[in-house]
Amino acid sequence: MILKRQGFNIADKCVIERLTIQTPFTYKAVFPNEACFLHFRSGNVRLTSVSGTSEIASTESILLRCGNYFAELIQNSNDKTIEVLAVHLYPELFKELYKNEIPPNLNASNKNTLPQSIANSSLMIHYVENLNFYFDNPHVVSSDLLVLKIKELVLLLLQTDNAVTISGLMAQLFTPRQVSLKAVVQTHLFSSLTLPNLAILAGLSLSSFKREFQKVFDETPANYIKTKKLEEAKKLLKHSELSVSEIAYQVGFNDISNFTKAFRKNIGCSPMQFRKNSGLPVSEPK
């Protein structure tokens, strides 16, 4: 749940904001024509995109290009809130800021990479602290100051240890990636994402996703995904020493009882019996 939201606008667009969020919280972020820099002051974040899943540790930052994401915010202390700073980069504003100058190292890149976390240098830490000062003293903020803070962020990003990656992302921030439904499904086949989640990552409505899925895989999403999860589970039961509960989680089942029920219904025996028939130990750790 978002408990508090403060923002600064240029014209009618929010460009910098600070959010206080009660955890645990899953946030659906859809950026059809916008990039976003995020800094998390505490907690841990699991970010899911078309390309896979990234883990962002407390006090780290990340730069997101336009696209669809899910962010799971998890607090790792007794404090049940997380503070997030966000700087929104819009193509029209970005082009206006740099119409007479181009940032150094801004080279085009066609790499289809995961969003990557940005380790906090002393300059980045100072930048974040500076933003917090402005939120605590909003009367000193003007449009000119906001423009300077955005340009400062761009220059800082190009000086980080991930400069090559960041510059590549910056070069294609505002070009929506052509999303392949098949790639989305294969990437997240063994995750716990629901069909509505997969549809959002693919940029489709749920009904369109199901219709296109049937065309691509010649099977319903529910049957195809369940079959693939159980095939992977059989391999792990035969060739690994993971417990049944660990295997259930690894192939995308959140509930061991649901996994056992689906396995028995489709394979004809329980996971432990299947492992026993394969000649492997069946005991579960206590």
- With a CB cutoff of 8 Å and minimum separation 6, the contacts of 98 are none
Identify the structural domains of the chain with CATH numbers, from first to last.
Answer: 2-171 (2.60.120.810), 181-277 (1.10.10.60)
In this predicted structure, what is the pLDDT of residue 79?
Answer: 65
What are phi and psi for residue 205, nearest 5 degrees?
-70, 165
In this predicted structure, what is the pLDDT of residue 109?
Answer: 46
**Average pLDDT score over residue span 166-173:** 55
Per residue in 77-94, pLDDT tens?
A: 566 788 889 998 887 887
Write the single-letter amino acid at 15: V
In this predicted model, which residue has the larger pLDDT, 181 or 31?
181
Using only the alpha carbons of the chain, give its radius of gyration: 22
In this predicted structure, what is the pLDDT of residue 285?
Answer: 44
Look at residue 120 and give its three-state secondary structure: coil
For residues 35 and 63, the answer to whether their CB atoms sit within 8 Å is yes
Per residue in 123-137, pLDDT tens?
A: 888 999 999 999 999
For residues 173 and 31, the answer to whether their CB atoms sit within 8 Å is no
Per residue in 197-252, pLDDT tens?
A: 898 888 888 999 999 999 999 999 999 999 999 999 999 999 898 999 999 999 99
- The model's confidence at residue 269, banded by pLDDT at 50, 70 and 90, is very high
Using alpha carbons, list the distances in angstroms from residue 12 to 93, 120, 174. Answer: 12, 31, 19
For residues 125 and 41, the answer to whether their CB atoms sit within 8 Å is no
